[in-house]
Amino acid sequence: MIKVKLFATFRNGREKEIHFEYYEGITGREIIEKLGIKEEEVAIFIVNGRDKKWDEPIEDEATVSLFPPVGGG
Amino acid sequence: MGKYDRNMNTLSKEENESLKNFKICVVGCGGIGGYVIEMLGRLGIGYITVIDGDVFEETNLNRQILSNSQTIGKSKAQTARERMKLVNPDIYVNAVFSHLNGENGMELIKGHHLVIDALDDVETRFILQDICEKLGLPLIHGAIAGWYGQVTTIFPGDKTLDFLYKKRTTKGIERKLGNPSFAPALIGSIQVSEALKVLIRRGEVLRKKILYIDTFAQEYEIVEFF
């Protein structure tokens, strides 16, 4: 099982925490595709506190956090 | 001491006195920057450089503390200096009425002890991170969008912005959500508390951690980067 935590506007129309069945080789890119989120909408993508590339496989029991960009001042 | 009495004993007398010897550079005098300058000035930071090439306009009135019916059309940086003359005449404010960029950045930032990111665009933030990296200076990052905001404290070598903005040119969600009055005050306050702790070398700072605030859900999440 992979836990995905969504923040800010990513929660619009979605739960704030979503669980995905783990399978070998599952990547961040596949997860956001399932969520209907585009890569360019994501500012922070971390897996268990570590920055990951979109096509790197994610391990079972991982926590994935997705944040949209906040850039105003 | 007088005006700093109520800083006791959050700060020791020696710590409060030491603040007059510090130089802080605040980049951006808009929503976040206005509040940050106010708080640094009232703390008694002795020398504050404030950088902004903009003048106030009507759309700033909903959130920028330095904007009002009298300051529309005036330089944000110079308005900050004028206000601080009234708030705390014992400190010096160096007002720079131009935008920070790759050409003027090193010259403007060098000589300070710490830098505060109160910018409103991602591209210039990366320029600022590079400059602070080269000059070996701590950078306190803050950003806002709608109900949301984030703060992190970046030391040379951390390059935390590389984690926060995966796509460097990304436009933030503030383009859609705008920025209400409470967001810059909240984020600016946290940035100033971070700056103070870095200067007095006490307390926990948000190094390699991002505090992500959602005032709509009223959630405060600290995400650690390893």
Nearest neighbour of B226 by CB, restricted to A8, A49, A68: A49
Asked whether residue B1 carries a pLDDT value surpassing 70, the answer given is no
Q: What is the pLDDT of residue A49?
A: 84
pLDDT above 80: residue B30? yes
Dist. CA B32–CA B64, nearest whole Å: 8
Mean pLDDT of chain B: 96
pLDDT exceeds 80 at position B168: no
Q: Of A46, A49, A70, which has the smallest distance from its Cβ to B172's Cβ?
A: A70
Please check whether residue B48 is in contact with residue B114, taking contact to mean a CB–CB distance below 8 angstroms: no
Examine the pLDDT at B84 and tell me if it is beyond 90: yes
Residue pairs spanning A and B at CB distance below 8 A: 104
Q: Which domains does chain A have, with CATH numbers?
A: 2-67 (3.10.20.30)
Q: What is the pLDDT of residues B99-148, one digit of tens each?
A: 999 999 999 999 999 999 999 999 999 999 999 999 999 999 999 999 99
Comparing C-alpha atoms, which of B44, B37, B36, B49 is closest to residue B17?
B44
Say if residue B171's pLDDT is above 90. no
Is pLDDT above 90 for B226? Answer: no
Cβ pair A72:B166 closer than 8 A: no
**Interface check B170 vs A, CB under 8 A:** yes
Torsion of CA B152, B156, B160, B165, to 10 degrees: 110
Bridge partners (DSSP) listed for residue B92: B47
Average pLDDT over residues B152-157: 98
Tell if the CB–CB gap between A73 and B28 is shorter than 8 Å: yes
Collapsing DSSP to helix, strand or coil, B152 comes out as strand
Check residue B157 and give its pLDDT.
96
Looking at residue B37, its pLDDT comes to 98
pLDDT of B225: 80
Nearest to B84 by CA among B120, B37, B43, B116: B37
What is the model's pLDDT at position A61? 97
CATH code reported for the domain at B2-224: 3.40.50.720
Q: What integer pLDDT is reported at residue A51 of this predicted model?
A: 83
A72, B145 Cβ separation under 8 angstroms: yes
Q: What is the pLDDT of residue B28?
A: 98
Any chain A CB within 8 A of the CB of B118? yes
Would you kindly state where each structural domain of chain B is located, as residue ranges? 2-224
Calpha distance B177→A9 (Å, rounded)? 10
Contact B78, B51 (CB under 8 A): no
